[in-house]
Each structure stands twice: as structure tokens, then as C-alpha cells.
Amino acid sequence: MMDQQDKLRQLKPEKELFIGIDSDGCVFDTMEIKQKECFCPNFIKFYELQKVSKFARQTWEFVNLYSKTRGLNRFLALIEAVKLLGERKEVQLRNAIMPDLMPLKEWTAKENKLGNPALEKYLEKVSEPMLDLTLKWSKKVNEDIADMVRGVPPFSFVRESLEKIKLKADSIVVSQTPVEALIREWEENDIDRYVRSIAGQEYGTKAEHIALAAIGKYPPQKILMVGDAPGDLRAAKKNGVLFFPVNPGHEEDSWERLFKEGLDRFFNGTFEGDYEKTLIREFDSYLPETPPWY
């Protein structure tokens, strides 16, 4: 059976250019509904944070939607949310007990495919109640997403951009969402036909997706990552390639800009330099690093 990463390794260039595209919050306006209606309620329920639910919700949304950690892998986001929540004075005054996520920290430090399949495989070899609980939480999140999230179309100018991309570039989905959900959402909207592969959390990190699918196959200046989170920018720059930001809260404007000018600049070789730097500077201003309650 072919390893997921082998699917990316074996992609052969058909065009001279390559574009990686994030999905949640970038192509689809699904970040809010997934995080607020599926992730966060289960975060409060599974980790028994009911007595500080208000603060748990604020913290979860800050980590996953409204800060520079937006788009972080769910297990890493869980660790960050518990850390920030436990530091809050209001939470300490209520004597709320934070879950001990040390086993999760240890697992995420040595595993690069941070998804349910890898966690299930790990739990076949070790007995760890906190990881069992975390796997149950993650599976319930997936069930709720499958039940809740439907009928969400791509942002304006996404379809037109994908059509334009396909004429001149190879493209894949680069995401930390489970592959099953990605395939469902891209097929539901009939846009899966525009990309050559759909890579989710089971394929490794976003930086690995780009490295496996594109590095060494295309010149760096002919590789572009399109994303809405700082993690997308880091994945691009770790590989030494270009980045086009979809600005949170201004997604339609960003896709229109990509369709009307960004892609043409990428195609004709004038994207790199001042144009990209200006885009990244603007993008960096949208999301804070420090929580508002600090």
C-alpha cells in the first residue's frame, strides 16, 4: 500500500509552475463554524471545563481563529489553548483543573503526521488515558463536522482562480484538516477536479507537503503557497518559496486580488520582491500574537 507521502513524492510536473492551496478559512469559509460549533463545545465537554466555559471558549477561539496561531494543527492547538487558559487569572480564581497534556506534548514532539490514524497506531503500543481521551475528542470533532458542515461554498473568485491556475500550474491542496473532510468539501463543490492531489494532516506538515510535492521539481521562484494563516507563510518560507496571503476577514478581496493581479505576476515572474513583501506586511497586521486579556 502506498504511503500518503509517497503520493506526493511521485507527483511529476505537468506544468512549469506549482501552487499549494490551503482549504479551511482560505478556500472555504468553514473556520468559524468548525471551531465554534464542533471543536470548542467538545473541548469544554471532554476536558471538563464547564466551570470556566466562557474563558475556555474565548481562549479556544483566540488560538484557532483570531491570532497568529490560526490554522494550527488540532493537537498543537489543544496544547496551546490549555496552556493559555491555565494562565488566566479568572480561571485560577475558580480553581479549575487543567488537563495534564504532557503525554500529548511528548507524542506531538516525535510524530510528524499529527492525525487520528497516527495517534491510534501509537495507542496500540502504549496505554495512556489522556491520549485515549484526546483521540475520542478528535473523533467526535470529526463526527460533528461531518454532521454540521455542509453547503458552504468557496469564497468569491476561488473557482475562477482555480480555473486560471489549472491552465498554467500544477496545484495541490495543502492542509492540516483530515483528508476525509477535505475530499468531501472539495467534491461537494466540484472543485476537486482543479487540483492534482489533496493533502491533509495524515500527509505530514504543510511544509512537508510542499517539500515532497514540489521542491526539486520546480524552481523555488515558480512555487507559490496560498493560505490564510501564519503557518502557511512559515511553510512557504521554510521551503524558500513564494507566498500569497488570503487575509482573515477580507477573503473575497484577497481572492479577487489573486485572480486579477497576483496570478499574472506569478506567471510572468514579477511576484517575487516588493510585491510579495507588501502582501506579507499587510497580512502580518491582521492577527495579534498577544491575547486581549493579557
CATH at residue 22: 3.40.50.1000
Q: Residue 124: inside a domain, yes or no?
A: yes
Residues 172 and 273 occupy one common structural domain: yes
Question: Do residues 126 and 167 share a domain?
Answer: no
Residues 164 and 56 in one domain: no
Domain that holds residue 111: 31-148
Whether 210 and 273 share a structural domain: yes
Q: Of 148, 169, 198, which residue sits at a domain end? A: 148
Last residue of a domain, one of 94, 127, 148: 148
- Average pLDDT of the chain, as a whole number: 96
Q: Is the pLDDT score of 1 beyond 50?
A: no
Q: Are residues 277 and 160 in the same domain?
A: yes
Q: Is residue 289 part of a domain?
A: no
Rounded average pLDDT over 107-127: 95
- 171 domain-assigned: yes
Same domain membership, residue 264 and residue 161: yes
Residue 13 confidence (pLDDT) above 60: yes
Confidence of residue 4 (pLDDT cuts 50, 70, 90): confident
Which whole number is the average pLDDT over 26-54? 97
Of all residues in the chain, the percent with pLDDT exceeding 90 is 97
* Per-residue pLDDT reduced to its tens digit, 223-258: 999 999 999 999 999 999 999 999 999 999 999 999
Residue 150 has pLDDT above 50, yes or no: yes
Query: pTM here?
Result: 0.90
- For residues 61 and 21, membership in a common domain is answered with no
- Count how many domains the chain has: 2
Average pLDDT over residues 73-84: 98
Residue 15 has pLDDT above 60, yes or no: yes
pLDDT over 60 at 2, yes or no? no
Residue 213 has pLDDT above 60, yes or no: yes
Judge whether 191 lies within some domain.
yes
> How confident is the model at residue 262, as a pLDDT?
98
Degrees, nearest 5: CA angle 143-24-283: 150
pLDDT, tens digit, 9 for 90 and up, residues 120-148: 999 999 999 999 999 999 999 999 999 99
Last residue of a domain, one of 93, 124, 148: 148
What DSSP line would sit under the chain, residue for residue? ---HHHHHHT---SSSEEEEE--BTTTBS-HHHHIIIIIHHHHHHHTT-GGGHHHHHHHHHHHHTSSTTTT--HHHHHHHHHHHHHH-HHHHHTTPPPP--HHHHHHHHH-SS-SHHHHHHHHTT---HHHHHHHHHHHHHHHHHHHH--S-PBPTTHHHHHHHHHHHEEEEEE-SS-HHHHHHHHHHTT-GGG-SEEE-GGG--HHHHHHHHTBTTB-GGGEEEEESSHHHHHHHHHTT-EEEE--TT-HHHHHHHIIIIIHHHHHHT-STTHHHHHHHHHHHTTS-SS-TT-
pLDDT at 294 over 90: no
